[in-house]
Amino acid sequence: MKDNYNGALQQALHSGFNATSTTDDVIKGIDLSGKIVIVTGGYAGIGLETVRTLVAAGAIIIVPARDVQKANSNLKGISNVTVAPMDLMDPASINAFAAAFLTAYKKLDILINNAGIMWVPLQRDKRGYESQLATNHLGHFQLTAKLWPALKEANGARVVNVSSFGHQMAPFNFEDPNFKERAYETLQGYGQSKTANNLFAVELDHRGKSVGVRAFSLHPGSVLGTDLGRVAPMALFQQMGTHDENGNIYPEVAARLKTVDQGAATSVWCATSPQLNDIGGVYCEDADVAELDEGNIIHNYDDPTSLRGVKPYAVDAANAQRLWTLSEEMTGISFPAN
């Protein structure tokens, strides 16, 4: 069983899917009857579409939610879904959710760490940790650790981290991850949190594969119709050339964006595809394994189809091991993952 240390497996599988593939395309022929699934943030955007698709394939889904009322409203009418309270910025709530889950269920077949925040002003949790790092990585690290007994029990579980091309905005800053000594830049905070998603998948897969747990990270693509960037300053979008001076997205840019069901396709593919049975730790996009970006890919923010590839620093073995140790220290959790 190979792992993805230093991007060893970052080569396309020629899966047969592409940027226009939808969740219905990638789930075709897959039966999830009896499978237990958790999708964080599974009540909005691509998370909600992921839940819809997996339920239709027979899965039983638990959606941990910071806003339970909103989650219940958005998920109304979808069968076999249970909403439970959890806030990724609140370690006690993560522990409580995990404890309740382990009481109710013996196994967890699929954990999709989908929830996230992007380009927010500087905020800190009670521990003083920067909010994008706390929400996007540390909360999911803690959740995965607490749910580990159930993941092992599944005998073939998968953990899927919804990352982003945004990891290319910044490597992980091990010297000052919480912006205590440097000026806060939200793009840097977001970028390092997404790099952390990738590195976490690399090391989790390396440690977990011996007990039947494989891990993946992914870029969903640039998706029209989600609320992920709802608090981001318009100036950032204008700086990237995607919006005009009035804050309207350029029609030619909008035409290149994915629909929500296209955006969720890679999450569903990573969670369920038999094409990934024998590999793990890889960063995926467009329902396939992404190419290693060693400066050979030209990126233009006004052309979302060019935003692809994974940086070597985001699949580096030493970085993955170092982040694991730091995450244990920052969360106060021992997580051997074996």
pLDDT tens for 286-303 read: 999 999 999 999 998 778
Closest CA to 62 of 95, 34, 40: 40
For residues 23 and 220, the answer to whether their CB atoms sit within 8 Å is: no
Q: Rounded to an integer, what distance in angstroms lies between the CA atom of residue 2 and that of residue 119? A: 35
CB 78 within 8 A of CB 4: no
Q: Where residue 337 falls among pLDDT bands split at 50, 70, 90?
A: confident
* Mode of pairing for the β-strands spanning 36-39 and 60-65: parallel
How would you list the strands of the sheet with 288-289, edge to edge?
Answer: 81-85, 60-65, 36-39, 110-113, 157-162, 213-219, 283-285, 288-289
- Measured CA to CA, the distance from residue 321 to residue 135 in angstroms comes to 20
Q: What pLDDT sits at residue 187? A: 92
Percent residues over pLDDT 70 in the chain: 92
- Kind of pairing, strands 283-285 and 288-289? antiparallel
Active centre residues (catalytic)? 190
- Listed range (204-218, 222-236, 257-271) with the worst mean pLDDT: 222-236
Taking each helix axis from N to C end, the angle separating 139-146 and 91-104, rounded to the nearest 10 degrees, works out to: 30
If DSSP codes are grouped into helix, strand and coil, which group holds residue 152? helix
Report whether 145 contacts 335 (CB < 8 A): yes
pLDDT score for 303:
80
pTM for the predicted model, two decimal places: 0.94
pLDDT at 238 over 70: no
Strand partners, 260: none
Q: What is the DSSP letter of 134?
A: I
The tens digit of pLDDT for each residue in 182-222 reads: 999 999 999 999 999 999 999 999 999 999 999 999 999 98
